[in-house]
């Protein structure tokens, strides 16, 4: 169905499209005052064009509709849902929506993809236990999955090139795994994933530190939404390990989101309360520069991606051990950088106590 040379050419065309469209949109953004003004929570200190993710959206869907033989039953629902997310992000970038209104936009988009497309988490097979059928819970679980990953990418979008770079790493990993492990009918998901990576790659040089344009919520929500949908499309009749893969691949944004919720709960704050204690903020507080922080998070994201690939070759015992070591590694990382709080480091305290006992 797919000629890989043609797919490669489409990817190159898509990358060149965003490479050309982005500087054009920078001019448009300044003309129409689509700008991100520095404030207390922001790291940047000058007015910047935002909403740049619209160029990724345009390039990706142009290539998918016009240049690739993607079935309309697959691409049209995706386009409708993504359009709702992008419009929500555009309004937020321009007028700053309330968190609940923005959430309703994402839920609506996820519901449209579920209702119009072939995107649902129907069953989950757990080794030695059997198959769980979600039945009437299909819709809420599917929407929760898409909304959760969409917000995870949006939350991590705090430094130049951070969300775009993490999304490229995650999507490339999903595309590679899908290409080799999905059926022939499902491989179109991997092809679209590679095209989306190409679209981001054309935007990334303008977004990496020092950035000349931001993704904005338009781009961050769009990328998170696409990651959520693409991960689900490869999870029809998923095994437990398959269900874990996207969470491992998106280890950084998932960790940041989860511990932000824990941190705010422990501090008796609303979950939607904004703060400057995300992973990138904590790394910078430890002395890393803006660029060093972004590159460090890229490296950690790449490590998560390699671990995700290892799951596909592991036995059940190997997968369990991998999961245990990942969880321990994440907890140590979180405590070392003080993601929940300087005083909340239970595992490090236990390790220090154990070390003192060994030495004493």
Q: At what angle do helices 138-156 and 216-233 cross, to 10 degrees?
A: 140
Interatomic CA distance for residues 222 and 224, integer angstroms = 6
Interatomic CA distance for residues 164 and 168, integer angstroms = 6
Report yes or no: 152 and 250 within 8 Å, Cβ to Cβ.
yes
Report yes or no: 332 and 348 within 8 Å, Cβ to Cβ.
yes
Interatomic CA distance for residues 310 and 322, integer angstroms = 9
**Does 154 count as an annotated binding residue?**
yes
Alpha helices, DSSP H, located in the chain: 4-31, 53-62, 72-95, 99-116, 138-156, 162-181, 187-207, 216-233, 240-249, 251-266, 279-285, 290-311, 316-337, 346-359
Q: Give me 165's structure tokens.
A: 């770079």
**Does 151 count as an annotated binding residue?**
no
What contacts 80, CB < 8 A, 6 or more positions away?
112, 113, 116
Q: Give me 174's structure tokens.
A: 């999903």
Q: Give me 171's structure tokens.
A: 């999507």
Q: Over the Cα atoms of the chain, what is R_g?
A: 20
Report yes or no: 316 and 127 within 8 Å, Cβ to Cβ.
yes
Q: Which residues are annotated as a binding site?
A: 154, 217
Q: Which residues are annotated as a binding site for Mg(2+)?
A: 154, 217
């Amino acid at each position: 169905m797919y000629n890989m040379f043609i797919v490669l050419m489409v990817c190159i065309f898509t990358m060149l499209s965003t490479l050309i469209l982005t500087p054009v949109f920078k001019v448009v953004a300044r003309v129409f005052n689509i700008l991100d003004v520095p404030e207390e929570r922001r790291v940047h200190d000058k007015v910047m064009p935002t909403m740049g993710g619209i160029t990724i959206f345009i390039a990706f869907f142009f290539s998918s509709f016009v240049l690739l033989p993607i079935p309309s039953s697959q691409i049209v629902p995706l386009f409708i849902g993504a359009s709702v997310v992008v419009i929500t992000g555009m309004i937020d970038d321009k007028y700053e929506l309330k968190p609940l209104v923005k959430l309703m936009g994402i839920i609506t988009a996820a519901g449209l993809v579920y209702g119009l497309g072939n995107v649902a988490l129907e069953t989950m097979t757990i080794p030695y236990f059997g198959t769980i059928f979600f039945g009437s819970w299909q819709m809420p679980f599917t929407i929760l999955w898409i909304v959760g990953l969409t917000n995870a990418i949006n939350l991590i979008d705090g430094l130049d090139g951070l969300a775009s770079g993490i999304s490229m790493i995650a999507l490339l990993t999903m595309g590679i795994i899908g290409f080799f492990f999905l059926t022939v009918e499902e491989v179109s998901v991997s092809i679209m994933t590679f095209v989306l990576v190409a679209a981001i790659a054309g935007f990334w040089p303008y977004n990496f530190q020092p950035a000349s344009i931001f993704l904005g919520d338009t781009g961050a929500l769009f990328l998170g939404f696409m990651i959520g949908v693409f991960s689900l499309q490869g999870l029809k009749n998923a095994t437990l390990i398959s269900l874990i893969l996207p969470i491992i691949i998106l280890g950084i944004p998932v960790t940041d989101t989860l511990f932000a919720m824990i941190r705010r709960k422990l501090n008796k704050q609303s979950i939607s309360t904004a703060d400057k204690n995300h992973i990138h903020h904590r790394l910078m507080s430890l002395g890393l520069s803006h660029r060093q922080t972004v590159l460090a998070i890229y490296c950690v994201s790449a490590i998560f991606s390699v671990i995700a690939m290892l799951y596909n070759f592991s036995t059940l015992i190997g997968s369990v051990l991998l999961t245990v070591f990942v969880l321990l590694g994440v907890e140590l990382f979180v405590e070392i950088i003080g993601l929940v709080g300087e005083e909340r480091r239970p595992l490090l305290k236990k390790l220090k106590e154990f070390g003192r006992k060994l030495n004493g």
